[in-house]
Amino acid sequence: MNKPCRYRRIVVKVGTSTLTRETGSLNLHNMEHLARALSDLKGMGYEIVLVSSGAIGIGTKKLCLAERPTELRMKQAAAAVGQCMMMHVYDKLFAEYNRTVAQILLTGEDVDSPIRAEHLHNTFEALLELGVIPVVNENDSVSSAEIETGKCKVLGDNDTLSAMVARLCGADLLILLSDIDGLYDADPRTHPGAKLIHRVETITPQLRAMAGGTGTWRGTGGMVTKLNAAQLAMDAGIEMVITNGENMEAIYDIVEGKDVGTRFAAL
């Protein structure tokens, strides 16, 4: 008999570096393992929401552009193409395990507006009730414009988006699959003795300084946005774990409460 579930609803966020290779091609190995693990968790009784980045990166490759575009309209075009391809691949992979996925694209405005947020909440509820795994991304073809004009509040990164989605759909656990093992007490690239922090109860200014201070791995690891996401999640009573997406099997240990990556306690 299965053990009683410690969590009921889990949001998993996966980053572009986990979904694509350095050449820009899809990392089918990681995508397959992700689809299998999430399908399995679904079968174990958990409700799953996937927040997936990758639209711009995948679109860049599909359009055979030499590099990730910098011009806004090209970035938005790449996102539109990449999102389509990404969903096609997810649909195929999840279907192999007899799971149905749905696409939800949203902007910061959608989450901020009480009416739109309520509709979103209801849509998530309905999809989960139907046994579907929603796949969420920021609506990049729309929201990047907001970033540039600065007129509207935007999310801009999927770490923050995933915490907002976790809050919106009443999740109890948020897992961020990244290209780093978790939060370290120093930059592991320059400090070989840096230790992984397994548990964080409070996000202190010291912790923020460690993640975002000069000379740390802010630029590549994106730890600052992860700490912001953690704060949002913790405030909403949601546990959050950062772990390396190269080892999808870790997801099983995380839902069992084992010490994998960095776990942020719910307040």
| CB 131 to ligand GLU: min, Å | 25
Spatial CA neighbour of 217 closest among 179, 264, 259: 179
| Cβ-based nearer residue to ligand GLU, 138 or 239 | 138
| Cβ-based nearer residue to ligand GLU, 12 or 55 | 55
| CB 60 to ligand GLU: min, Å | 9
Q: Using DSSP, state whether 37 is helix, strand or coil.
A: helix
Helix (H) or strand (E) holding 86: helix 72-96
| CB 183 to ligand GLU: min, Å | 18
CA pseudo-torsion sign 265, 236, 119, 242: negative
CB atoms within 10 A of CB 240: 31
Please name every residue paired with 196 in a beta bridge, in sequence order, or none if there are none. 184
| Cβ-based nearer residue to ligand GLU, 55 or 211 | 55
| CB 222 to ligand GLU: min, Å | 8
Residues sharing a CB contact under 8 Å with residue 64, sequence separation 6 or more, in sequence order: none
Helices (H), 130-235: 140-149, 158-168, 205-212, 218-221, 223-235
| Cβ-based nearer residue to ligand GLU, 79 or 135 | 79
Residues sharing a CB contact under 8 Å with residue 214, sequence separation 6 or more, in sequence order: none
| CB 52 to ligand GLU: min, Å | 7
| CB 34 to ligand GLU: min, Å | 15
| Cβ-based nearer residue to ligand GLU, 183 or 255 | 183
| Cβ-based nearer residue to ligand GLU, 7 or 160 | 160
For binding to ligand GLU (CB under 6 A), which residues are involved?
A: 15-16, 53-57, 79, 137-138, 140, 157-158
Order of strands across the sheet that contains 133-138: 101-106, 133-138, 47-52, 9-14, 173-178, 239-244, 262-264, 199-200
CA–CA gap between residue 79 and residue 73 (Å, rounded): 10
